[in-house]
Chains A and B, each alone.
Chain A
Amino acid sequence: MSEKIVIVGHPNSGKSSLFNSLTGLDQTVGNWPGVTVEKKEGFFFIDDNKFEVVDLPGCYGLTPTSIDEKISLDYLLSSSPSLIVNILDGSNLERSFFLSLQLFFLDIPIIFFINKMDVAKSKGIKIDFEKLKGIFSCDIVLGSVKNGEGIEDLKILIKKNINKKVCETKYFKVSDKVYLHIEKISELLVKYKEFEKHPKFYSLKVIENDKNFAPSIFKILNEKDLSKIKSIVDEVYKDIKKKDFLTLDWFYSLSRGIVGEVTTKEFSDKKSLTEEIDNTLLNKFFSIPIFLITFLFIFFLTFFLGDIFSNFLSFLFENLSFFLTKIIKEGFLLSFLTEGVVGGIGSVITLIPYIFFMYIFLGFLEDTGYMARVVFIMDRFMHKIGLHGKSFISLVLGFGCSVPAVLSTRVLDTPKDRIKTILIIPFIPCSARLTVLIFFGAIIFGKWSFLVIFILFLLSILFAIFSGFFFDRFLLREKSEGLIMELPDYHLPTLKNLLLNSYFKVKDFLKRAGTLIFFITVIIFLLSYFPKNVEGGFIRVAGEKINFLFKPLGFDVERTVSLITGFFAKESVISTLGVLYKGEQIERVIVNRWSSVDGFVFLLFLMIYLPCIATAIVIKQETGSFLYLFGIIFYSILFAYLISFLVRYFLLLIL
């Protein structure tokens, strides 16, 4: 049987990175707080022992103030893990110990992993390891997940500490009377089945008068114990005027005391490198131009490098198709292989170089800490549309994939903020959509494609802001709160991490290409092949029936059908066109048949209309309402149609 280990820490302490280092998995990691919004599970082996690892969303304390903090606490109370790996930020120990001290009350063995020691060192912070060992009875590892330091030591200690006795700190006992009263209450609570696992935690909640716990605890207690507990609580608060913050203050003063005892800081008048860089990147006048130039440059590099390899892959598939026609007799099998497999899936495979390079560059921005600055830069626009500053974190995640972006809205405080953000996310071009745009852009616009895609990228942000303004003004009006966000220090990402990140994305894409996209392609092929006496098969007949709707936008039957399959996975737009163009090379057909205006309008429609089916499912799950789901589907199609229509006729007039 495997043992369960839980990773707990405050937001942006490096929990997900530690989880990935221990398990070898590729969970999303970001250099900003709030990336993990639900628990993630994995496992690893030490010798022959299997250890299950659970990565919980970040929390500042054990009094939940948001959904993600509630998820963490509920899990800790209900799952009874064998060990907590408490990850602390070595460069911000005060806040880390604030949580650590509260974790002691769960009566679960703990190991401290003090992360970001490299950052602490660069800030001139020195930690006295021996003094720290003297304060806490648990094992402590100093390290840096980013550099792989301390991971092996941690693994050894995990094995040693499983189900070991719970840890203590001398600070509780010598500090003041609060702890003594918690012990007295827990002696009474431990008799009850409901509280026997975590009696000290529930005692703390009683003293804190936490509205999430105290009323239900009092309901279970018998009258005798209830009156005893009330008198203990009265004793705690005797001569104290302000009762609401006693425990919070207690933990904070203890953590400050510990930090004062174990750390020393070398003071320097010199500004840190991060401050120097931020002075330029977050400058009032330069921040937006730098942001725009950075993304323009990224698109340029993605096109430049991706094009070379993509052309090579196209050449390979063209030759493969030619080779197949030589060795297989004309008929269903040849059509299936050349039109379905090579034409459909082959076209999708040529996307890989773009995906690979785009993730390398976006990963670079994310790991350095610049993406968090983008949130800061865009904060003022967020307020214009009545959104919480934190919403932009979800929107930034939306550039990767809309599904985790929708899930990440759980960190937002109010339901209206959440729904507004969820409704805007589908307008942010996800990586799947971007790569499809890049693929078509490269064919239609040649060397200027990076500029066209950059314009489409900016337009999508503009549409998201407009939609946010529309929802705020007419549907979900609410005052927004200011952005509270910690800007992480700049890091130089390692090439290994960037390559690994990109590799996992390509792997994920290939998995989708081999399953969902392949399935759609086969269906489209069969529908286009049968009945044999009708040219273009069923799909053409059906496409012709609805094509009148899209005629005003200049779309032919093939493009109309591909937009429908694009709802299942955006990449299948390419494979569908590959199949429907009947084995002809998709690049050649597009160059010959599509005008630049029609191409641009098609990309515009593709960028705005409908999220994919996975996003639609998550929107329903998170809003709990079909109204919002169908509302956003209807709105996005209508919006895409109107914008594409207007842009097409405007371009035809001026060109």
Chain B
Amino acid sequence: MIEEIIDYILKKKVVSTKELTKRFNIDEPFLDYIISYAKNKGYGIKKDKNKLLKCSFCPYKKFF
């Protein structure tokens, strides 16, 4: 499910928080945690002042 959320953001490039919370039946604080987690993994997802999630760069990270 979380992978689906991230994929959805990558695919749409710009997506609103409201759309994500409705589509995936998830609350905003938890979505915040997922985005922060993704940022830690090197995903360039940002949230602007209008609560739009944007992905600037999402590199493939090789293990080890």
Q: Shortest distance in angstroms between A412's beta carbon and chain B's nearest beta carbon?
A: 12
Report how far A474 CA is from B48 CA in the complex, Å: 21
Q: Which 7 A-B pairs have the closest CB atoms?
A: A65-B36, A482-B51, A60-B33, A484-B32, A244-B41, A245-B3, A383-B49
Among the listed A10, A65, A233, A482, which residue makes an inter-chain contact with B50, where contact means beta carbons less than 8 Å apart?
A482
Quick check: A481 and B64 within 8 Å, CB to CB? no
Quick check: A11 and B29 within 8 Å, CB to CB? yes
Question: A61 to chain B: which residues have CB within 8 Å?
Answer: 33, 37
Spell out A's residues near B (CB within 8 Å): 10-11, 33, 60-61, 63, 65-66, 92, 95, 98, 209-211, 218, 230, 233, 237, 242-245, 248-249, 252-253, 256, 383, 413, 479-486
Question: B40 to chain A: which residues have CB within 8 Å?
Answer: 63, 65, 210-211
Are A60 and B17 CB-contacts (below 8 A) given A481-B46, A482-B48? Answer: no
Question: B61 to chain A: which residues have CB within 8 Å?
Answer: 209, 243-244
Extra contacts, 15 of them, besides A61-B37, A245-B37 (Cβ < 8 A), are A11-B29, A95-B27, A243-B63, A248-B2, A248-B34, A252-B1, A252-B2, A256-B1, A383-B49, A482-B51, A484-B17, A484-B31, A484-B32, A484-B47, A485-B29
Quick check: B28 and A485 within 8 Å, CB to CB? yes
Question: A244 to chain B: which residues have CB within 8 Å?
Answer: 6, 38, 41, 43, 61
Q: Shortest distance in angstroms between A391's beta carbon and chain B's nearest beta carbon?
A: 13
Report how far A65 CA is from B30 CA in the complex, Å: 12
Question: A95 to chain B: which residues have CB within 8 Å?
Answer: 27, 29-30
Quick check: A481 and B33 within 8 Å, CB to CB? no
Quick check: A486 and B3 within 8 Å, CB to CB? no
Question: A237 to chain B: which residues have CB within 8 Å?
Answer: 63
Quick check: A60 and B6 within 8 Å, CB to CB? no
Report how far A484 CA is from B40 CA in the complex, Å: 18
Quick check: B49 and A482 within 8 Å, CB to CB? yes
**Among B1, B28, B33, B46, residue most surrounded by chain A Cβ atoms (within 10 Å):** B33
Quick check: A481 and B49 within 8 Å, CB to CB? yes
Report how far A641 CA is from B50 CA in the complex, Å: 37
What is the interface of chain B mostly: helix, strand, loop, or mixed? helix
Question: A60 to chain B: which residues have CB within 8 Å?
Answer: 29-30, 33
Q: Shortest distance in angstroms between A218's beta carbon and chain B's nearest beta carbon?
A: 8
Quick check: B63 and A233 within 8 Å, CB to CB? yes
Are A66 and B36 CB-contacts (below 8 A) given A244-B41, A485-B29? Answer: yes
Report how far A33 CA is from B28 CA in the complex, Å: 13
Report how far A240 CA is from B6 CA in the complex, Å: 15
Question: B41 to chain A: which residues have CB within 8 Å?
Answer: 244-245
Quick check: B34 and A481 within 8 Å, CB to CB? no
Quick check: B49 and A209 within 8 Å, CB to CB? no
Question: B27 to chain A: which residues have CB within 8 Å?
Answer: 92, 95, 486
**Among A10, A211, A245, A480, residue most surrounded by chain B Cβ atoms (within 10 Å):** A245
Spell out B's residues near A (CB within 8 Å): 1-3, 6-7, 17, 27-34, 36-41, 43, 46-52, 61, 63-64
Q: Shortest distance in angstroms between B6's beta carbon and chain A's nearest beta carbon?
A: 6
Question: B1 to chain A: which residues have CB within 8 Å?
Answer: 249, 252-253, 256
Q: Shortest distance in angstroms between B51's beta carbon and chain A's nearest beta carbon?
A: 4
Question: B30 to chain A: which residues have CB within 8 Å?
Answer: 60, 95, 98
Question: A249 to chain B: which residues have CB within 8 Å?
Answer: 1-3
Question: B2 to chain A: which residues have CB within 8 Å?
Answer: 245, 248-249, 252
Q: Shortest distance in angstroms between B58's beta carbon and chain A's nearest beta carbon?
A: 10
Quick check: A479 and B31 within 8 Å, CB to CB? no
Report how far A210 CA is from B47 CA in the complex, Å: 23
Report how far A209 CA is from B64 CA in the complex, Å: 8
Q: Shortest distance in angstroms between B23's beta carbon and chain A's nearest beta carbon?
A: 15
Are A482 and B47 CB-contacts (below 8 A) given A237-B63, A248-B2? Answer: yes
List 5 interface pairs A-B (beta carbons < 8 Å), by A numbering: A65-B39, A233-B64, A245-B41, A252-B1, A253-B1
Q: Smallest CB-CB separation from B58: which chain A residue?
A: A244
Q: Shortest distance in angstroms between A377's beta carbon and chain B's nearest beta carbon?
A: 16
Are A481 and B63 CB-contacts (below 8 A) given A61-B33, A253-B1? Answer: no
Report how far A252 CA is from B39 CA in the complex, Å: 18
**Among A10, A11, A482, A486, residue most surrounded by chain B Cβ atoms (within 10 Å):** A482
Report how far A383 CA is from B38 CA in the complex, Å: 24
Q: Smallest CB-CB separation from A215: which chain B residue?
A: B64
Are A486 and B28 CB-contacts (below 8 A) given A63-B40, A244-B38, A245-B3? Answer: yes
Q: Shortest distance in angstroms between A91's beta carbon and chain B's nearest beta carbon?
A: 11
Question: B47 to chain A: which residues have CB within 8 Å?
Answer: 481-482, 484
Q: Smallest CB-CB separation from A212: which chain B residue?
A: B40
Question: B38 to chain A: which residues have CB within 8 Å?
Answer: 244-245
Quick check: B17 and A486 within 8 Å, CB to CB? no
Quick check: A65 and B63 within 8 Å, CB to CB? no
Question: B17 to chain A: which residues have CB within 8 Å?
Answer: 482, 484
Q: Shortest distance in angstroms between A116's beta carbon and chain B's nearest beta carbon?
A: 15
Report how far A256 CA is from B1 CA in the complex, Å: 10
Report how far A233 CA is from B63 CA in the complex, Å: 9
Report how far A242 CA is from B63 CA in the complex, Å: 11
Q: Shortest distance in angstroms between A284's beta carbon and chain B's nearest beta carbon?
A: 16
Report how far A209 CA is from B61 CA in the complex, Å: 10
Q: Shortest distance in angstroms between A47's beta carbon and chain B's nearest beta carbon?
A: 39
Q: Smallest CB-CB separation from A379: which chain B residue?
A: B49
Q: Shortest distance in angstroms between A73's beta carbon and chain B's nearest beta carbon?
A: 13
Question: B33 to chain A: which residues have CB within 8 Å?
Answer: 60-61, 65
Report how far A243 CA is from B42 CA in the complex, Å: 12
Quick check: A479 and B48 within 8 Å, CB to CB? yes
Question: A413 to chain B: which residues have CB within 8 Å?
Answer: 36
